[in-house]
Amino acid sequence: MSENMVIDSGNARQPFNYSVGLYGSKFFKELKENKRFLGVKCPKCSKVYIPPRKVCGECFIETREFVEVGPRGKIGSFTILRYAFIDPETGEQKPVPYGYGFIRLDGADTLFQHYINISDENKVKIGAIVEPVFAENRKGTIRDILHFNIVD
Protein backbone atom coordinates (compact mmCIF):
# COMPACT_ATOMS: atom_id res chain seq x y z
CA MET A 1 0.00 0.00 0.00
CA SER A 2 1.25 3.45 -0.91
CA GLU A 3 2.17 5.80 1.91
CA ASN A 4 -0.33 8.37 0.55
CA MET A 5 -3.75 6.75 0.43
CA VAL A 6 -6.55 7.74 -1.96
CA ILE A 7 -10.10 6.82 -0.92
CA ASP A 8 -12.67 5.94 -3.64
CA SER A 9 -16.11 7.59 -3.25
CA GLY A 10 -17.91 4.52 -4.66
CA ASN A 11 -20.74 4.71 -7.20
CA ALA A 12 -22.42 7.88 -6.00
CA ARG A 13 -25.69 8.78 -7.77
CA GLN A 14 -27.81 11.91 -7.40
CA PRO A 15 -30.91 12.31 -9.61
CA PHE A 16 -32.48 15.76 -10.21
CA ASN A 17 -35.86 16.99 -11.45
CA TYR A 18 -35.51 20.07 -13.65
CA SER A 19 -38.27 22.56 -14.46
CA VAL A 20 -38.15 23.81 -18.04
CA GLY A 21 -40.79 26.51 -17.63
CA LEU A 22 -43.72 27.37 -19.90
CA TYR A 23 -41.62 28.21 -22.96
CA GLY A 24 -39.46 25.12 -22.64
CA SER A 25 -42.55 22.97 -22.12
CA LYS A 26 -44.14 24.40 -25.27
CA PHE A 27 -40.97 23.65 -27.24
CA PHE A 28 -40.77 20.05 -26.11
CA LYS A 29 -44.50 19.46 -26.66
CA GLU A 30 -44.23 20.69 -30.26
CA LEU A 31 -41.11 18.63 -30.80
CA LYS A 32 -42.74 15.49 -29.45
CA GLU A 33 -46.14 15.81 -31.09
CA ASN A 34 -45.40 17.59 -34.37
CA LYS A 35 -41.63 17.35 -34.91
CA ARG A 36 -41.49 21.15 -35.09
CA PHE A 37 -38.94 23.54 -33.59
CA LEU A 38 -40.23 26.63 -31.82
CA GLY A 39 -38.15 29.74 -31.24
CA VAL A 40 -39.16 33.08 -29.79
CA LYS A 41 -38.74 36.53 -31.33
CA CYS A 42 -37.67 39.59 -29.35
CA PRO A 43 -40.23 42.39 -29.84
CA LYS A 44 -37.45 45.00 -29.75
CA CYS A 45 -34.39 43.65 -31.64
CA SER A 46 -36.29 40.95 -33.58
CA LYS A 47 -33.66 38.36 -32.73
CA VAL A 48 -35.09 34.83 -32.94
CA TYR A 49 -33.89 32.67 -30.07
CA ILE A 50 -33.67 28.92 -29.82
CA PRO A 51 -34.08 27.45 -27.25
CA PRO A 52 -37.06 29.74 -26.59
CA ARG A 53 -36.69 31.86 -23.47
CA LYS A 54 -38.91 34.38 -21.77
CA VAL A 55 -36.48 37.29 -21.82
CA CYS A 56 -34.14 38.70 -24.46
CA GLY A 57 -31.09 39.33 -22.29
CA GLU A 58 -29.62 42.02 -24.51
CA CYS A 59 -32.84 44.10 -24.60
CA PHE A 60 -33.95 42.83 -21.16
CA ILE A 61 -37.50 42.65 -22.44
CA GLU A 62 -40.10 39.89 -22.32
CA THR A 63 -40.54 37.81 -25.46
CA ARG A 64 -44.06 36.68 -26.40
CA GLU A 65 -44.06 35.70 -30.07
CA PHE A 66 -43.28 32.08 -30.88
CA VAL A 67 -41.96 31.43 -34.37
CA GLU A 68 -41.30 28.12 -36.08
CA VAL A 69 -37.69 27.59 -37.13
CA GLY A 70 -35.97 24.81 -39.10
CA PRO A 71 -36.27 21.88 -39.36
CA ARG A 72 -33.39 22.32 -41.81
CA GLY A 73 -30.41 24.50 -41.06
CA LYS A 74 -26.72 25.06 -41.67
CA ILE A 75 -23.71 24.10 -39.60
CA GLY A 76 -22.57 27.26 -37.78
CA SER A 77 -19.56 25.52 -36.25
CA PHE A 78 -18.66 22.01 -35.18
CA THR A 79 -16.04 19.63 -33.93
CA ILE A 80 -15.58 15.89 -33.87
CA LEU A 81 -15.05 14.60 -30.34
CA ARG A 82 -12.46 11.86 -30.34
CA TYR A 83 -11.48 11.41 -26.71
CA ALA A 84 -13.40 9.46 -24.09
CA PHE A 85 -14.70 11.04 -20.89
CA ILE A 86 -17.25 10.25 -18.20
CA ASP A 87 -20.70 11.46 -19.23
CA PRO A 88 -22.29 12.98 -16.10
CA GLU A 89 -25.72 12.15 -17.57
CA THR A 90 -25.03 8.42 -17.50
CA GLY A 91 -21.92 7.91 -15.38
CA GLU A 92 -20.50 5.92 -18.30
CA GLN A 93 -17.80 6.67 -20.86
CA LYS A 94 -19.28 8.74 -23.67
CA PRO A 95 -19.09 6.78 -26.95
CA VAL A 96 -16.63 8.51 -29.29
CA PRO A 97 -16.07 9.71 -31.93
CA TYR A 98 -19.19 11.83 -32.41
CA GLY A 99 -20.06 14.92 -34.40
CA TYR A 100 -20.74 17.94 -32.21
CA GLY A 101 -22.59 20.64 -34.08
CA PHE A 102 -23.91 24.15 -33.61
CA ILE A 103 -26.71 24.40 -36.13
CA ARG A 104 -28.31 27.59 -37.38
CA LEU A 105 -31.86 26.37 -37.97
CA ASP A 106 -33.55 28.26 -40.80
CA GLY A 107 -35.10 31.40 -39.34
CA ALA A 108 -33.16 31.34 -36.05
CA ASP A 109 -30.47 33.80 -34.95
CA THR A 110 -28.90 31.62 -32.26
CA LEU A 111 -27.42 28.19 -32.74
CA PHE A 112 -28.88 24.84 -31.73
CA GLN A 113 -26.52 22.28 -30.28
CA HIS A 114 -26.86 18.64 -31.34
CA TYR A 115 -25.17 15.57 -32.77
CA ILE A 116 -24.11 15.58 -36.41
CA ASN A 117 -23.88 12.31 -38.31
CA ILE A 118 -20.20 11.90 -39.19
CA SER A 119 -20.44 8.81 -41.40
CA ASP A 120 -18.75 10.94 -44.08
CA GLU A 121 -16.39 13.26 -42.21
CA ASN A 122 -15.42 15.12 -45.37
CA LYS A 123 -18.92 16.52 -45.67
CA VAL A 124 -18.95 17.98 -42.14
CA LYS A 125 -18.14 21.62 -42.83
CA ILE A 126 -19.25 25.04 -41.66
CA GLY A 127 -22.12 26.07 -43.93
CA ALA A 128 -23.18 22.49 -44.80
CA ILE A 129 -26.98 22.02 -44.90
CA VAL A 130 -28.36 19.62 -42.31
CA GLU A 131 -31.72 18.13 -41.40
CA PRO A 132 -32.88 16.40 -38.22
CA VAL A 133 -33.60 12.72 -37.77
CA PHE A 134 -36.33 12.28 -35.14
CA ALA A 135 -36.76 9.41 -32.72
CA GLU A 136 -39.81 7.21 -33.41
CA ASN A 137 -40.79 7.05 -29.78
CA ARG A 138 -40.55 10.69 -28.67
CA LYS A 139 -40.75 11.61 -24.98
CA GLY A 140 -40.47 15.40 -25.01
CA THR A 141 -36.71 15.76 -24.45
CA ILE A 142 -33.77 16.91 -26.52
CA ARG A 143 -33.21 13.22 -27.32
CA ASP A 144 -36.36 13.27 -29.46
CA ILE A 145 -33.88 14.35 -32.13
CA LEU A 146 -31.39 11.53 -32.75
CA HIS A 147 -28.97 13.65 -34.75
CA PHE A 148 -28.70 15.86 -37.82
CA ASN A 149 -27.75 14.43 -41.21
CA ILE A 150 -25.81 16.35 -43.84
CA VAL A 151 -28.02 16.99 -46.87
CA ASP A 152 -26.22 16.49 -50.17
Partner 1 sequence: MGKKRVAIIGTGQTYHKSHRPDVNGQELIHEAVSSALCDADLTIADIDAIVIGNMDHFEGINYVDCWSVDGSGGVMKPIIKLTTGGTTGSTIAIGGYHLVASGLFEKVLVIGWEKNSESDTTGAITTAFDPVWDRLVFAGAISGLAVEAQAYMARYGATDRDGARVSVRDRKHACNNPHAQLRKEVTIEDVLASPMLADPIHLLDVCPRTDGACAVIMANEDVAPKLASKLDWIWATSSRHKYTYIGDVNWGELDSMYNASREIYKKAGIKEPNKEISVIELYQPYSFAGIIWIEDMGIVPRGKGAEYIWSGATDMGGELPINPSGGVIACNPIGATGLIRCAEAAMQVMGKADIRQVPDVNFAISTGFGGCMWTDMILHGQKKPDF
Q: Which of 33, 57, 62, 65 binds partner 1 (CB under 8 A)?
A: 57
CA–CA dist 134, 101 (Å, integer): 16
Q: Which is nearer to partner 1, 35 or 53 (CB)?
A: 53
Q: Which residues ranging from 29 to 48 are in contact with partner 1 (CB under 8 A)? A: none
Position 60 contacts partner 1 (CB under 8 A): no
Position 113 contacts partner 1 (CB under 8 A): yes
Q: Which is nearer to partner 1, 90 or 136 (CB)?
A: 90
Smallest distance, partner 1 to C-beta of residue 50, A: 7
Q: Which of 102, 107, 117, 149 binds partner 1 (CB under 8 A)?
A: 102
Q: Which of 1, 16, 136, 152 binds partner 1 (CB under 8 A)?
A: 16
Give the strand order in the sheet containing 48-49.
Answer: 48-49, 37-41, 65-69
